Amino acid sequence: MKIIIGCDHAGFEYKEILINLIREKKFHFKDCGCFSAESVDYPDYAHEVSKEVLKKTDHIGVLICGSANGVAMAANKHNGIRAAVCWNKKTSEMSITHNDANVLCVPARFISPSELKEIFDAFISSQFEGGRHKNRVDKINC
């Protein structure tokens, strides 16, 4: 698995926290930015992460902004991206088990660093259940 990570200025601090966790877990990753807390446009990073995720089936994305909504909206414009806004462990698990999400979007302004780690761990350790959920996921792209 390779993790593709990106953020806007509101998510920069949390991106750095996650990169340290990713390194500890010895995952391969690509940092698509941003690279400081200076104001930037979140769609630029959401699009970059989405393009990278779509390159290989074992790539997953993580996007971080203030509410997670903006990056999720931008990422979901890409056919094949299933970006999920997750604010706790359970929503993160279900984004995988029921929705086969391939991009995790987290709201930096509404969760703690410890919650961020729980959400990320749930995302990378959960497995898609398939079955009736696969039929629904197959209907997502137009």
Active site residue 98: yes
- Considering 47, 78, 98, 133, which one is annotated as catalytic? 98
Q: Terminus-to-terminus CA distance in the chain, angstroms?
A: 27
The Cα–Cα gap between 75 and 4 comes to 13
Report yes or no: 88 and 105 within 8 Å, Cβ to Cβ. Answer: no
The Cα–Cα gap between 110 and 88 comes to 10
Round the CA-based radius of gyration of the chain to a whole number and report it.
14
Enumerate the active-site residues.
98
